[in-house]
Copies of this chain bind each other. A is one copy, B any other.
């Protein structure tokens, strides 16, 4: 157990700097970030118990701020709390994946349509630059691995931010995307269709640049539907290998 716990404190990868709040001025904030990272990396395995005395000792804080951090994780749907029993890291199953992707398709379709309506030409430049970076990454093996793991989300992150809808951005980036990360870690991972995904990204940017909101929305919905199908196939395959496994 302590080996797992030791890993948790180990700090960030480059991609990590994108998402967490810049200034974690309070201990509770800091521990919230750490725990969230640990969960989405799979270092706290799905279904496992959140032990307050243990974690408060690990992070060197008292249980008060720790419990507040756990409440925030509950808000992100990363843990589930039962009264008088405690919190457990969320369990991911196929049913939940279906639900998440139904929602994601609707929301990112919306975001992409809004982005097409609202993106400035400077915004389009940013999209093009990101595509170029991804294209270069697909060449190298390491880059391809990164693209499959985080690059795809970077693209979606940018689109959503261009939608101009702050609440939508928070909903997707603070909640759904972290859950998607967790799925990626849990399945043997990889969408394993990087070239196809890149092509789809390209067409989406084309539609945005042409201010074609309807097409942009349609293409994004399809793009996500493809990702959904890939994930479900993967989950289906995995579930045949290891049927059920309730965390410690």
Contact = CB atoms under 8 A, between A and B. Distances in A.
Number of copies: 2
Contacts of A171: 103, 171
Contacts of A72: 71, 74-75
A75 B84 contact: no
Interface string A90-123: 0000001001101100110110001000000000
B167 A103 contact: yes
A166 interface: yes
Contacts of A110: 102-103, 106
A3 interface: no
Interface in A110-166: 110, 114, 165-166
23 contacts: A26-B83, A26-B84, A67-B68, A68-B71, A71-B71, A71-B72, A72-B74, A74-B75, A75-B75, A75-B76, A77-B167, A99-B168, A100-B167, A102-B114, A102-B165, A102-B168, A103-B110, A103-B165, A103-B167, A103-B171, A106-B107, A106-B109, A171-B171
